Amino acid sequence: MIKLRKDIKLDKGNWTEQGDKDLVSKWKKSKRLNFRLNHLKPDENIERINIQNELFKFIGPNAVVATPFYCDLGFNTSIGEGSLINSNCVFLDTDDLTIGKYTLIGPGVHIYCADHLTDTKLRVIPKDDKLNDGNYSYIDGKGRFDEDMDYTITVFSRPVSIGDNCWIGGGSIIMSGVKIGDNVIVGAGSVVTHDIPSNTTVIGRPARIINKD
């Protein structure tokens, strides 16, 4: 795990380093399961159920995950009873990703638990850097990185939750840390950057409330 400098304060979330051995091992297992899921024949229903039960933290009865489908880890994702994940969805589930009951996730929806800081010095760091000494000697006065050093990428993750009876329109993007209530409609192609209360319809980039029940 990467240590934060003392002058950096975050309300919540988890830090990790791409290259963390335990995470890489789990990621590889997920990718193998994800590959098998995406290459099943349409009538291989028993195998599909078995793979989904192994891949996901929870998947409820009568939930459907259409392929192709892509996720980072799988074991952080919970999908409620009767929900439908349409084809070509991407889940960057580096933290808890929870979808309620009877929720529709349209084709091509992306859900991102993973995030990165805008400060390049904290996003791209030397592999042996601890991020707690304030030493940026690998960057010159013009902000250029030392090309002789090996670097890694830091990732900050926050949970995403979507309630019951929602409809997330195709091509929408749900950003890190977002909570969506029950009975919410997200218009196709929207980018959801903030929490959405129950019983509302939102649309846009970024998504804005256009109707409340």
User: In this model, does residue 129 exceed pLDDT 80?
Assistant: no
* pLDDT at site 50: 97
- SS3 state at 123: helix
* pLDDT at site 13: 47
Residues 144-157: b if buried by 16+ CB within 10 A, e if exposed: ebeeeeeebebbbb
Give 138's DSSP letter.
Answer: T
pTM of the model: 0.87
Predicted confidence band of residue 127 (pLDDT cuts 50, 70, 90): confident
* pLDDT at site 134: 61
State the average pLDDT for the chain.
87
Q: For 67-90, how does the pLDDT look when each residue is reduced to its tens digit (9 = 90+)? A: 999 999 999 999 999 999 999 999
* pLDDT at site 40: 97
- The conformational region for residue 177 under phi > 0 = left, psi -120 to 50 = alpha, else beta, is left
d(CA 168, CA 160): 14
d(CA 157, CA 59): 22
Considering 39, 110, 116, 194, which one is annotated as catalytic?
A: 116
Q: Where are the alpha helices (DSSP H) in 18-117?
A: 21-38, 45-55
Q: For 30-58, how does the pLDDT look when each residue is reduced to its tens digit (9 = 90+)? A: 999 999 999 999 999 999 999 999 999 99
Annotation says 116 is catalytic: yes
* pLDDT at site 10: 37
d(CA 198, CA 163): 8
Give 28's DSSP letter.
Answer: H
**CA distances (Å), origin 84, targets 72, 107, 165:** 19, 10, 11
